[in-house]
Amino acid sequence: MPYKNISRHTVIAGAILLLAAIDGSAQDAPQDHTCTVSVSGEAAFPFGKDGNNFDPGWGLQAGGGFAVTPFVEPRHGVVLYITGNFMYDRLDATSSALAQAKTANPMQLASATSAHGSFSAVTLDPTVRYPLSARTNLYLVGGFGWFRRGVGFNGTNPATLIESSGATLDRLTANSGVFDVGGGVNLGLTRKGGLMLYAEARVYRGLAVNSGTTLLPLSVGVRW
């Protein structure tokens, strides 16, 4: 899907959540619990050096955690959570980046027809939720963890007839630390509390060998 379509659809989904948040009701049951789990799909946008290497792509996030501060009445105070989060994104390489890689390594990649990047992160993230109403809260999240950047090249290997056109010619990986920071909005789906829809923007910045990678995932998912 083109970059503009990915961006447009993600922004529209986030705007719907923010507009719906205005309709929070004080009579509804609180949405927060002493523990939380979440899963979402996301559109991922690369920046930094990898902003020239990859097109926007798709991915997923999943996480969970527990509250470390006591709950207060709806619309009052904040709640601190300690959460763990897993992120995976897959982005196709740009044609110019593929051409540069083939020029740099013609023996191995001369027959490469495409390439992609796979990005994974596992992070520990303190999260602060601030209630706007009994059904709606805003949150900020940030932390540190492990990051893996992988690049795979696909094509036909001329050295053997048993290789298919989708064979992996080469795969490179690099592991490092990562910082992440972001925020979003939770919107309760029922008056009884519990299940929530959420929209989130988060930035991942790789460190050391992955310092050229910055990812901006825009996520929409469900949380309990």
Does 83 or 77 have the greater pLDDT score? 83
Tokens standing for residue 190 = 């029922």
CB 134 within 8 A of CB 29: yes
Element (H, E) at 37: strand 35-47
Is residue 107's pLDDT more than 60? yes
In this prediction, residue 163 carries a pLDDT of 45
Is residue 137's pLDDT more than 50? yes
Among 89-93, 94-98, 176-180, 215-219, the minimum mean pLDDT is found in 94-98
Give 61's strand partners.
Answer: 40, 87
In this prediction, residue 26 carries a pLDDT of 42
Judged on CB neighbours under 10 Å (0-12, 13-18, 19+), 173 is: exposed
Average pLDDT over residues 69-83: 75
pLDDT digits (tens, 9 = 90+) for 34-68: 889 999 999 999 999 999 999 999 999 999 999 99
Tokens standing for residue 103 = 């020029």
Q: At 222, is the secondary structure helix, strand, or coil? A: strand
Record the pTM: 0.80
Q: Which of 202, 214, 201, 148 is nearest to 177 (CA)?
A: 148
Element (H, E) at 52: helix 50-53
Q: What torsion do the CA atoms of 43, 45, 46, 47 make, to the nearest 10 degrees?
A: -150
Q: What is the CATH number of domain 3-16+35-223?
A: 2.40.160.20
Residue 51, sorted as left (phi over 0), alpha (psi -120 to 50) or beta, turns out to be alpha
Tokens 């939770």 sit at which residue? 186
CB 223 within 8 A of CB 211: no
Average pLDDT over residues 9-21: 53
Centroid of chain to Cα 128:
19
Q: At 27, is the secondary structure helix, strand, or coil? A: coil
Phi, psi dihedral angles at 4 (to 5 degrees): -65, -40
Average pLDDT over residues 120-144: 93
